[in-house]
Amino acid sequence: TLANNIATSIIRIKNKKALQESEEKFKLLANNIPGGVYLVKFDKKRTKVFLNNEFEKLTGYSKEDFFSERVRLHQLYHPDDKAKALQEIDKAIKEKKSFLVTSRLIKKDGTEIWIEEHGEAIIVNDVVEYLEGVLIDITERKKAEEAILARELAETSNKAKSEFLANMSHEIRTPLNGIIGFSKLLLNTRITEVQKQYLQTVNQSAESLLDVVNDILDLSKIEAGKLSLENSKTSLHTIINQSVDMVKFTAHQKNIELIVNVQEHIECNIWTDEVRLRQILQNLLSNAVKFTLKGQIELNITASKVRESKSKIRFEVKDTGIGIKPENKGKILEAFSQEDSSTTRNFGGTGLGLSITNSLLKLMYSQLEINSEVKKGSSFSFEIELKTEPCGNKNILNNKLKRALVVEDNPLVCEVIERMFRSLNLPCKTISTKTDLPSIITNEEEYDLILIDYEFLNKKVTHEIIDVVSQNQHRHLIIMQNSTSDFISNKSFKNIHNVIKPLKINVLQNYLNKINNPFLDNEIVDLTLVNNDKNKIKILIVED
């Protein structure tokens, strides 16, 4: 009996010590959990057995407030969440299952937090004796979830808007084109001067609105993923010429020199989306003209061979405009954004041009590069890799010309024209002086082709040169003029020609071919002179 009692005592002492050690370990673990841990009796008061230190931080109340029953956990539930939370806990206890409740909790200072409460009943002899649980603060996670949900809703809404506008493209453009077309037709009828001014205002307003609508619809198509690129053979020179022709009148109105500088030996038959590449160049050139008050704008195009039938072509639009602040370079590529509010106020525009341009370039696996200095100018450039092949023959047909003289005050224009003549195998000299020019032309008989810049020379000098050249039918004069110039070529002189600046290589080649082969045009003219009954024909036109 004594031995048994001693053994039992020893076991009890050991178990008590083990229990104390287990309790200490439990408390240490519980106090290091990043959440409030509780153990309560399953009675009406939910008598507290244990609360960890984090419980105070989570609720703002002290452990003594809970142990003394001054405050109870269920009282802290948000009024809108309380009934549901208690109902879920009671149901789990009855079914003897663990529970997970998500609700808002009102802290002592009145602030609200979101918590997740993980708990379960402790069952002894098939009876619920205790409840234990952990409260975790999930406020930050809830905020993140709400932000993600708000973003998803915004993206869904934005996509729906973009798809709607992309689908409405035709319906919006058609009536605007009707206004523009019929107002132009009406302008050609017999109307008073006042009516003409009113109609011009209607026409200009409709065209401005169409530009804005086109920009918005293009952006919407890109956002909706409904814009796809074509890939067909086209001429690089055609795209360049059409892009430049769209802006040259506005540039010449501001007395800005427009220079097209294309590498001579570039392979100009290219495979690309002609419409979109032209749109990109027009956007960049229009921007350059808009933000340049004086000086010049260059369109520089170079190419490097990547491999057979593939070239990397670099396009650059360089201006002497107002420039861009370094911190605003990224901003100007955002939709509906310009460098600052004063830019929009002074120059107008939607701020979509560069955003659309950069989006189109992304579809071409490229991007816009910007270099700029405030009050000195900007350079916008990009590179695209395209399938290319060499252009046709650049030689002049039946060339009889020996040497050309170019009179131009802009050094870069002189350099570009010199390179053009060199590629056409025709020697060329440039001068930039006005003095004694007629006498130079008279004495220098070796110049059988002369190009002069009409804006550089005054009317008197120009007409003196015309008089000198017109006396010798074997010499030719090409007058380079702005689209706003008042000069009108004299059709009675067959060796005097005029061309709108900027001079382009294919235009120069065409002029030189006409000068050297005048019979090609004469044959066509002679056919129109035939006028007798035997050669008359009847033509039927069927048009719906």
Residue range 497-535, pLDDT digits in tens: 888 889 988 888 888 888 888 765 544 434 444 455 666
Asked if residue 247 lies in contact with residue 282, where contact means CB atoms within 8 angstroms, the answer is yes
Considering only CA atoms, which of 517, 519, 477 is closest in space to residue 496? Answer: 477
Q: What is the pLDDT of residue 254?
A: 92
Write the pLDDT tens digit of every residue in 65-88. 888 888 888 888 888 988 888 888
Beta pairing partners, 383: 314
More confident residue, 42 or 336: 42
pLDDT digits (tens, 9 = 90+) for 362-392: 999 999 999 998 889 999 999 999 999 988 7
Amino acid at 100: L
Q: What is the DSSP letter of 398?
A: T
177-203 burial, b if ≥16 CB within 10 A, otherwise e?
Answer: eebbeebeeeeeeeeeeeeeeebeebb
Q: Which residue has the tokens 């110039």?
A: 485
Q: Residue 207's pLDDT is what?
A: 80
At residue 311, the pLDDT reads 93
Mean pLDDT, to the nearest integer, of 11-32? Answer: 67
- For residues 520, 525, 527, 529, the Cα torsion angle rounded to the nearest 10 degrees is -160
Q: Which of 428, 459, 433, 407 is nearest to 467 (CA)?
A: 459
First-to-last C-alpha distance (Å) of the chain: 125
Is residue 101 classed exposed, middle or buried when 0-12, 13-18 and 19+ CB atoms within 10 A define those classes?
Answer: buried
CA 124 from centre of chain: 70
- For the chain, the helix, strand and coil percentages under 3-state DSSP, each to the nearest 5: 45, 20, 30
Q: Which helix (H) or strand (E) holds 506?
A: helix 505-516
CA atoms within 13 A on the CB side of 22: 6
pTM (2 d.p.) = 0.62
**CA 68, CA 227: separation in Å to the nearest integer?**
70
d(CA 206, CA 199): 10
Task: Measure Cα distances from 440 to 317, 402, 414, 528 in Å.
Answer: 36, 17, 18, 41
The helix or strand, by DSSP H or E, that contains position 413, with its residue range, turns out to be helix 411-423
- pLDDT for position 494: 79
pLDDT score, position 280: 93
pLDDT band at 132 (very low <50, low <70, confident <90, very high): confident
**Residue 357 above 50 pLDDT?**
yes
Task: Determine the Cα angle at 216 with ends 214 and 221, to 5°.
Answer: 90
Per-residue pLDDT tens for 247-275? Answer: 888 898 899 999 999 988 889 899 999 98
Q: Which pLDDT score, from 0 to 100, does residue 345 have?
A: 47
Q: For the ranges 13-22, 212-221, 234-243, 296-305, which has the lowest average pLDDT?
A: 13-22
How far apart CA 418 and CA 515 sit, in angstroms, is 19
In this structure, are strands 369-373 and 404-407 parallel, antiparallel, or unpaired?
Answer: unpaired
